[in-house]
Homo-oligomer: A and B are copies of this chain.
């Protein structure tokens, strides 16, 4: 857009909206215009929600989840089974597992995976706090490693298994297999092989 069309406030809003994942420069303009038109219904409340998030959201010092309190809602929930801790790479994975509602347990967010090429070593992830958490004997009996099925994820899984060696916990990982609702034709050989190997009796 030519520089003299709208005030600097609108220009700056468009530039910042373009940095939101899912929006590009073009959709940021469209979004800015929509927000300006819906000033009372959307723009105002969104400004307040962002300010509230900026002021109140923090990272849980126990598990690495983001929440408005520390320790977070999950860590302090007395109805959760503290005998099981699921290790995930990112908060988005924690949210995904919570949406599935399959387990009612605790989590530990690593904040990434080991990646020597990107200069990410064990000290850059929340691995030390995990070992301390389990060594402290807070009741954990099983550790489910739910990192992504990528090379970096598996490397990280092996490293964590080594670090937890000697501690009195069972370490498990997610099952490999055919996604529910998935078609065999579209699956890779690795997944099909894993699904065949782990076949179950009907």
Contacts and interface: CB of A to CB of B under 8 A. Distances in A.
Interface stretch (A9-17, A133-141, A162-170): A9-17
Contacts of A22: 22-23, 27, 30-31
Nearest to A23: B22
A53 B91 CA distance: 31
A42 B50 CA distance: 10
A176 to B, nearest CB: 24
Across the A-B interface, give the 5 residue pairs with the lowest CB-CB distance, nearest first.
A7-B68, A47-B50, A22-B27, A47-B51, A13-B49
A13 B36 CA distance: 18
Interface SS of A by simple majority: helix
A196 interface: no
Given A49-B16, A77-B4, A95 B29 contact: yes
Given A9-B53, A54-B44, A56-B9, A95 B1 contact: yes
